[in-house]
């Protein structure tokens, strides 16, 4: 997953909606899927460069809340670091079987992330290496 994101970032592409549901296992490797939001951002940037109205403000706010980085939740443009944050959420989910933040209520989930503080995976899985 990290290598796939690194390749996308090297090509100037930020996924912007990286989550476990967008990773498929095929032939012993992980394949990242669903780059729709990345495409939306690229089209918005091209429209803005052409002097047309840009949809980038709305695009920055798009994504799947439980996996969004604090900057995405704050309305700041997503960059490669946002995808890496989302990768961390996916790895936490893989190790513990649950998301690190309360995803039952969007506002509460967002506030937990923006306020900082990372839940301990070891507290949920004591024998975690």
Predicted confidence (pLDDT) per residue in 15-46, tens digit: 999 999 999 999 999 999 999 888 656 655 65
Percentage of the residues of the chain whose pLDDT score is greater than 70: 80
What pLDDT shows up at residue 61? 61
Flag whether pLDDT at 128 surpasses 70: yes
pLDDT of residue 50: 53
| Nearest alpha carbon to residue 73 among 127, 22, 21, 114 | 114
Question: Which tops the pLDDT comparison, 51 or 49?
Answer: 49
Is residue 84 exposed (0-12), middle (13-18) or buried (19+ Cβ within 10 Å)? middle
| pLDDT score of 11 more than 70 | yes
- Kindly tell me if the per-residue pLDDT of 126 is higher than 60: yes
Known catalytic residues?
17
For each of the domains in the chain, give its residue range(s) and CATH number, in order of start: 2-124 (1.10.510.10)
14, two tokens: 């930020």
Q: Using pLDDT thresholds of 50, 70 and 90, give the confidence band for residue 55.
A: very low
Instruction: Name the most confidently modeled range: 2-16, 71-85, 115-129.
Output: 2-16
């Amino acid at each position: 997953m990290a290598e796939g994101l690194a390749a996308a970032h090297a090509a100037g592409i930020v996924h912007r909606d990286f989550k476990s549901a967008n990773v498929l296992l095929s032939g012993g490797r992980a394949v990242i899927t669903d780059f729709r939001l990345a495409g939306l951002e690229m089209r918005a940037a091209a429209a803005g460069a052409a002097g047309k109205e840009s949809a980038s403000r709305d695009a920055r706010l798009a994504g799947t809340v439980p996996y969004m980085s604090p900057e995405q939740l704050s309305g700041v443009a997503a960059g490669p670091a946002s995808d890496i944050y989302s990768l961390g959420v996916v790895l936490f989910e893989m190790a513990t079987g649950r998301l690190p933040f309360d995803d039952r209520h969007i506002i509460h989930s967002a506030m937990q992330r923006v306020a900082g503080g990372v839940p301990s995976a070891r507290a949920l899985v004591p024998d975690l290496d």
